[in-house]
């Protein structure tokens, strides 16, 4: 074998090695990139789910039931009100709150405030899971995007419903909001997406992101 042939073979082997190296690198990095993108999308959706849950819990606390459609929830945030009790006066260190009320030193009074302002523009116990404050400054933008699946380009939205279940003869209000992986991870690697769905179903879990349940009286999210 002459030198030219030997050099040609060596160059060919180097080229094959480079191609194989690139293929191996891509096969290793593809799941890494998938997980990173999935994490980013899931984090954005989870915050939306937390905001929806906060509204539902506040509404139930005030009115005894949950809101059953996205449009109704948006309308409640736009023009609905939430009643809350505020302490007027200062309780002396030597008295309990109840004693101070009985003596007329302080009083509890009920106020109402716009639902959106109360839940998202003020710090209170009604929404301990608020995101970054800047998220809520543009009310119209927030309401427009609240039910949109983040990073989805085909217009998919969060599915939400509410109703009642029977529990020991009592009607118990429930709600559920959910997004399947097909919508959340749209446009990503199909094989890895299918694996996510198969893995969730294998453990009898919802293949996506969900908060609440239409079968149980719970308000937890499946990310918690």
Chain segment 105-121, per-residue pLDDT in tens: 888 888 889 999 999 98
Helix (H, G, I), strand (E, B) or coil at 187: coil
**Which pLDDT value is given to residue 72?**
97
What is the pLDDT at residue 89?
A: 83
Cα–Cα separations (whole angstroms), residue 74 to 5, 28, 67, 157, 161: 74, 43, 10, 14, 14
pTM of the model: 0.82
Radius of gyration of the chain (CA): 27
CA dihedral 130, 134, 135, 137 (to 10 degrees): 110
Are residues 177 and 212 in contact, defined by beta-carbon separation less than 8 angstroms?
A: yes
Contact between 25 and 183 (Cβ < 8 Å): no
pLDDT score, position 23: 60
Q: What does each C-alpha distance from 56 to 7, 59, 186 come to in angstroms? A: 72, 5, 28
- As a whole number of Å, the end-to-end CA separation of the chain is 67
Sign of CA dihedral 84, 90, 93, 95: negative
Distance from C-alpha of 191 to C-alpha of 28, rounded to nearest angstrom: 14
Residue 45 near residue 179 (C-beta atoms within 8 A)? yes
- Ranges of residues in the chain with a pLDDT under 70 are 1-29, 123-126
């Amino acid at each position: 074998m002459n030198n030219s042939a030997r050099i040609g073979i060596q160059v060919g082997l180097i080229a094959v090695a480079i191609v194989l190296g690139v293929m191996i690198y891509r096969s290793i990095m593809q799941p890494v990139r998938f997980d990173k993108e999935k994490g980013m999308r899931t984090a954005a959706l989870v915050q939306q789910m937390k905001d929806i849950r906060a509204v539902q819990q506040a509404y139930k606390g005030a009115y005894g039931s949950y809101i059953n459609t996205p449009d109704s929830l948006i309308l409640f945030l736009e023009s609905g009100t939430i009643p809350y009790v505020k302490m007027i006066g200062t309780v002396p260190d030597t008295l309990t709150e109840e004693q101070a009320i009985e003596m007329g030193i302080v009083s509890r009074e009920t106020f109402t405030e716009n639902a959106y302002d109360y839940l998202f523009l003020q710090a209170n116990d009604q929404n301990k899971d608020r995101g970054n404050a800047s998220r809520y400054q543009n009310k119209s933008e927030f309401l427009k995007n609240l039910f949109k699946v983040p990073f989805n380009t085909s217009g998919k939205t969060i599915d939400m419903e509410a109703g009642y279940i029977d529990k020991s003869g009592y009607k118990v209000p429930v709600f559920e909001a959910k997004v399947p992986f097909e919508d959340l991870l749209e446009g990503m690697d199909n094989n890895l997406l299918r694996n996510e769905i198969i893995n969730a179903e294998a453990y009898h879990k919802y293949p996506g992101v969900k908060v609440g349940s239409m079968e149980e009286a719970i308000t937890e999210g499946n990310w918690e």
